[in-house]
Structure 1
């Protein structure tokens, strides 16, 4: 499910009274978000250059181009920020951008369809794939033991869910 843009962060709200925002970075190194060129809104209608100002509770303080007042900053609360894929670093063979996994077909080692990846969650102990097949929802730890194969070219993941061999 390759896309030409990747979601790298979100605006969590205003910070201070001069248009600063509280920025939540989805990057492995949070400060890297400022180096990916102008970031756009999901619809692509607005673009911002990002200048980080300081660490703040729950993220990073930042100044965005075109955002001058607290009201401007507060109006952007919840806005996701997207970077062009070509601005992001390439990943090793065993790492993936979440955007590339969403929508992939998931099969068991015998080829039986389990569903498709609907979401990826990270609650601190590692990524969890949410796989939906009909009315069935599976939450699979995204580990090499449970997900031995990710084939982006074929659009398929092979998963061996815990307890499936009983």
Structure 2
């Protein structure tokens, strides 16, 4: 399979020919504009219909990915406004499809942890608005400001075989077509035209001390030849001295 091309924020997709997670790890790069996801309807009866509950580090999902933050109340009936880390319909659709949001507030050693079912979520202008269980009225919604929103990776919308979520590429080994190890994916960058792999590798500084070297490899088919998630490896047409 050839490598993913990119043009937005959400997933990374291979072109037809040639090919607790951090902020910004969640992207989409379709070859054509994706249709907005349908609003999230009230969830079916079951565990995710439980009201808002307090969580602990032990009950927090191991696959939770930060996908946005609550920035304000919306309207008078308890809806909240969310700034998504990826555009709605371009990766931010996980916010629309997830039945439960996991909320983290505070950046000290013991942040407040809660989770709540999503009664309804939809795109509004350049953000997402949602009605969460247990949040009734504007004052209650305003009190949610500053909460970072996480979604379990297992609840992300499914992808086509040639699409990738950035969060799944982080930490993968990068080797070139000659088998030379180039490092590991430390981050993904969106430069507006396409995604870029930021690859770190062990190096030596001018003072002789160990440092992290960096390679920036465009995530496009001319350079990225194969992504093997099972083997945790990306093969690229890129020389070690570039």
TM-score higher than 0.5: yes
Deviation of 1:123 (Å): 3.8
Which position in structure 2 is the counterpart of 1:115?
183
Q: Distance in 2 between matches of 1:117 and 1:29?
A: 20
Residue 83 of structure 2, aligned match among 24, 27, 48? 24
User: Does 2:155 align with 1:155?
Assistant: no
Count of matched residue positions in the alignment of Structure 1 and Structure 2 = 159
Which position in structure 1 is the counterpart of 2:73?
15
CA 1:44–1:34: 2 relative to 1, 3 Å: farther
Which position in structure 2 is the counterpart of 1:48?
116
Are 1:37 and 1:83, in contact at CA under 8 Å, matched by a contact in 2? no
Q: Distance in 2 between matches of 1:9 and 1:104?
A: 21
User: Does 2:98 align with 1:36?
Assistant: yes
User: 25-34 or 100-109, which moves further after superposition?
Assistant: 25-34
Any stretches of 5+ residues in structure 1 without a counterpart?
Answer: none
Which position in structure 1 is the counterpart of 2:41?
none
Q: Which structure has more RCO (C-alpha within 8 Å, separation ≥ 6)?
A: 2
Which position in structure 2 is the counterpart of 1:62?
130
Residue 105 of structure 1, aligned match among 168, 173, 181? 173
RMSD across aligned positions (CA): 3.1
Q: TM-score, normalising length from structure 2?
A: 0.55
Query: Who wins on radius of gyration, i.e. which is larger?
Result: 2
Q: Distance in 2 between matches of 1:123 and 1:105?
A: 22
Q: Distance in 1 between matches of 2:183 and 2:196?
A: 15
Any stretches of 5+ residues in structure 2 without a counterpart?
Answer: 1-60, 105-110, 203-211
Deviation of 1:119 (Å): 1.2
Q: TM-score, normalising length from structure 1?
A: 0.76
Secondary structure at the counterpart of residue 119 of structure 1: strand
